[in-house]
Amino acid sequence: MSNPSENMVESTRHLSAPLTMSTILIADDHPLFREAMRRAVERAQPGAVIAESENVAQLLGQIAAHPEADLLLLDLTMPGAHGFSALAHIRATLPALPVIIVSAREEPMVIRRALAHGASGFIPKSADSDMIQRALRTVLEGETFDPFAHGAVRLDEAERDLAKRLADLTPQQFRVLTMLCEGRLNKQIAYDLDVTEATIKAHVTAILRKLGAHNRTMAVTIASRLALDPDSARMIKVVEE
């Protein structure tokens, strides 16, 4: 026969065991939308640890600070994202981190490409609170949330190959690539990243090698394959250095 006092100790141990709290990253450059997402997360996951970013550079820092994060909510058009580039890089380097794309771009092909690049779900920015909470619960339970049941599209070989190449870039090299895609000069990138211009030149050399590009213009052209609108992305003026 079990000892009642031992049973009481065992019950107390279970009651006092700490609950596992989710850590959720929110990456969006619009403060009002981040606040809306925060409220939805707090309702769907009470007690969750929430970390916010307003650009990709901040997001990479938050990912480094929260390596065991349970979920990332990622805006496709935030500064530094450049279409599906940030999604492809994060999914390739952190395959265990589920990503839900949040975007005002609700075209079926955008949703299909997001899912094809490894997103676990898609939340339109027109979604109400109920849909957002449903998406969060679905993905945190290990399922895929497709709001309009579009399904994933098969990516062409060039787009799949580029996604794999992005996985070879270090976080700093990825930051530099996003700045090249904005037409920035080495000295501007060096100033923003607080490093020497020689360091940026070394990063650019590594980026060109990993992307299979001969110059900066070619690297930006290759990266534009992951843009939401590839044709308009190719119009960026790049200065060779």
pLDDT of residue 236: 54
Percent of the chain past pLDDT 70, that is, above it, reads 85
What is the reported pTM? 0.78
In tens, the pLDDT along 121-155 reads 999 988 888 898 899 999 999 999 998 876 666 77
Q: Write down the pLDDT at residue 237.
A: 59
In order of 17, 199, 201, the CA distances from 76 in angstroms are 39, 28, 28
Give the relative orientation of helices 85-93 and 56-65 as an angle to the nearest 10 degrees. Answer: 20
For position 22, what pLDDT does the model report? 87
Confidence of residue 7 (pLDDT cuts 50, 70, 90): very low
pLDDT at residue number 241: 75
pLDDT on residue 151: 66
Query: Helix and strand tally (H, E) in the chain?
Result: 12, 5
CATH of the domain spanning 21-140:
3.40.50.2300
Higher-confidence residue of 10 and 27: namely 27
More confident residue, 229 or 195: 195
How far, in Å, are 64, 143, 161, 213, 224 from residue 158 at the CA level? 29, 28, 5, 14, 11
Bridging pattern class, strands 49-53 and 71-75:
unpaired
In CATH, the number for domain 168-233 is 1.10.10.10
pLDDT at residue 6 greater than cutoff 50: no
- Is a pLDDT exceeding 80 seen at residue 97? yes
| 155-175 mean pLDDT | 86
Location of each CATH 3.40.50.2300 domain in the chain: 21-140
> For residue 17, what pLDDT is reported?
36
Higher per-residue pLDDT: 2 or 211: 211
What does the angle CA 219 – CA 223 – CA 228 come to, to the nearest 5 degrees? 155
Side chain identity, residue 99: V
Residue 4 banded pLDDT, cuts 50, 70, 90: very low
For residue 54, the model assigns a pLDDT of: 95
Which residues, including other chains, have CB under 8 Å from residue 17's CB and lie 6 or more apart? none
CATH 1.10.10.10 domain span(s) along the chain: 168-233
In this prediction, residues 42-67 reach a mean pLDDT of: 92
Higher-confidence residue: 1 or 103? 103
Residue 15 is predicted with a pLDDT of: 38
Span 185-213, mean pLDDT? Answer: 94
